[in-house]
Each structure stands twice: as C-alpha cells, then as structure tokens.
Amino acid sequence: MPDRFQAVVFDLDGTLIDTAPDLAATLNHVLGLVERKPIALAEIRHMVGDGVAKLIERGLAASGPPVDQETFERLYQGYFAHYRAHIADESRAFPRLREVLTRFRAEGRKLGVCTNKPIELTDLLLAKLDLARAFGAVIGGDSLSKRKPDPLPLRVTLERLGVEKSRAVMIGDSRNDLDTARALGIPCVLVTFGYTAVPAEKLGADAVIGDFGELPRVLERLS
C-alpha cells in the first residue's frame, strides 16, 4: 500500500454517483402531486445530502407554502415508490471512479460507503450500477440511530471494515461530510463536482479534487 490510508470511505450522492437527475425527477414528480411547479435541476443539486425528508421539505419550501403532516407523509411514501422504480434511469458513476476503485482494491485498501441516503435505496443503486461488490461496508441514513454529521455512521463503517480511524480517510462533497470526518478526527477530501451550496474549495477540507484521477496522488500527499 503506497500510503497510510488502509480504508477509504465515500459519501454516495454527489461523490460516487451523479444521482441528481433521478433525484430531481422524483422530487418534481411528488411536487406535482400537490400541484407545485417543477424545480430546476441546478437548484435541486444544492438541496441534496441530508436525506429524503429534508429534500422534500426543501422542495416544498422552494415551490410554495408548507403542507400538513398527512400530506407530507403521502409525498414521502410517493417519493420512495417513484424513486425506487427510477433510481438508475440517468444516474451514473462519476468519471474515472471505477478505475480508482479497482486500483485501490488491488492495493489492498478497504472501501466503504457512508451516506444519509436510506440503506434500501443505497443498496439498490449500488447494485444497479454494478458497484456493490467494491465496498466492504455500507451504512445508510437509517442504518443506525444517528446520521451524518454525527460521527457514529462513519465510526461504524470503519468498525465493519476492521480499520482504525488513524488509517482512514473520508471522501465527500459537502460540509456534512467534512463535519463528519472532523467529528471522528480523520482527514477529509472533498470533490468539486458534487452537491453543495458552498463551493468545496471554500469549506476547509484537507484536500479538494476535481477528478477521481487525482485521488491516489492526493492520498499519498496527505500521508
């Protein structure tokens, strides 16, 4: 192994996979159920990262007045049904991700996913895009009692990989991921192509990359 990082843990939406087109289509589908106008994809990209309920809440806030709890629950269930059926219509792994994952596995690194996306949808998406076998541990937003930015999900991901936090690094796209890594005391690399209202370059991560091809060299430098 060329550097100290035995475990590399990734966020999912906006980090591993460009899921925004399918997330946007599903959000606009459920907004249509309450006669709201569609929201542009570019705007929805900045709403992603804190789970389904927060995404719907933000979509409702951007398109009109609040709804009652019964209506919200109907939209929540409708979101799951629609997204499950269309989860990989347009979602794709970001460029050069597969090559980097293959390289890391060949080097003996252990790979994990730590996301706020529900675990059922996380597992389904990884399977649909033929990425599931790359990861030795996958933690979703409802896998545990707490979610990112609490450090618990990242801690459990590393426990399942069998790697100490001193040998781990987090790869994400937002302040949520950075705060999670900081809370556990591990380095964090952010990507510039993800979903964040504040540019990744301004968040204060240990390193920022604009392409997965840069990641091996960056990890070597952080060592």
Closest CA relative to residue 192, chosen from 177, 178, 172, 206: 172
220, 202 Cβ separation under 8 angstroms: no
Domain match, 54 and 110 both: no
User: Is the same domain home to 12 and 28?
Assistant: no
**Is residue 1 in a domain?**
no
pLDDT digits (tens, 9 = 90+) for 95-110: 999 999 999 999 999 9
Contact call for residues 15 and 191 (beta carbons, < 8 A) = yes
pLDDT at site 1:
65
| For range 176-184, the mean pLDDT | 97
* CATH classification at residue 33: 1.10.150.240
The phi and psi torsions of 29 (rounded to 5 degrees) equal: -60, -50
Residue 117 is encoded by which pair of tokens?
């996306």
Cα-Cα end-to-end distance for the chain = 12
Asked whether residue 115 falls in the same domain as residue 191, the answer is yes
**2 inside domain:** no
CA 190 to chain centre: 11
Distances (CA, A) of 197 to 43, 44, 45: 9, 10, 8
Q: What is the CATH number of the domain that holds 155?
A: 3.40.50.1000
pLDDT digits (tens, 9 = 90+) for 114-172: 999 999 999 999 999 999 999 999 999 999 999 999 999 999 999 999 999 999 999 99
Domain that holds residue 24: 20-85
Q: Alpha carbon 100 to chain centroid distance?
A: 17
State whether residue 53 is helix, strand or coil.
helix
Q: Is the pLDDT of residue 48 over 90?
A: no
The answer to pTM > 0.85 is: yes
User: Same domain for 67 and 108?
Assistant: no
Same domain, 39 and 147: no
DSSP 195: -
Shared domain for 169 and 106, answered yes or no, is yes
> Whose CA is closest to 19, among 129, 174, 153?
129
CB contact set of 77 (below 8 Å; sequence gap of 6+) = none
Catalytic residues: 11
Separation between Cα atoms, residue 59 and residue 79, nearest integer Å: 12
Q: Which of 32, 61, 85 is the last residue of a domain?
A: 85
Distance CA 214, CA 190 (A): 12
Query: What is residue 39's three-state secondary structure?
Result: coil
Chain centroid to Cα 216, Å, comes to 20
Residue 17 has pLDDT above 80, yes or no: yes
pLDDT for residue 92 is more than 70: yes
Give 52 or 57, the one with higher predicted confidence. 57
Q: Answer whether residue 50 shows pLDDT above 90.
A: no
| 41 and 103 inside one domain | no
Q: What's the token pair of residue 213?
A: 């091809």
Question: Is 212 found in the same domain as 104?
Answer: yes
Maximal CA-CA distance, the chain: 55
Number of domains into which the chain is organized: 2
Q: Which amino acid is at 96?
A: R
pLDDT for residue 108: 96
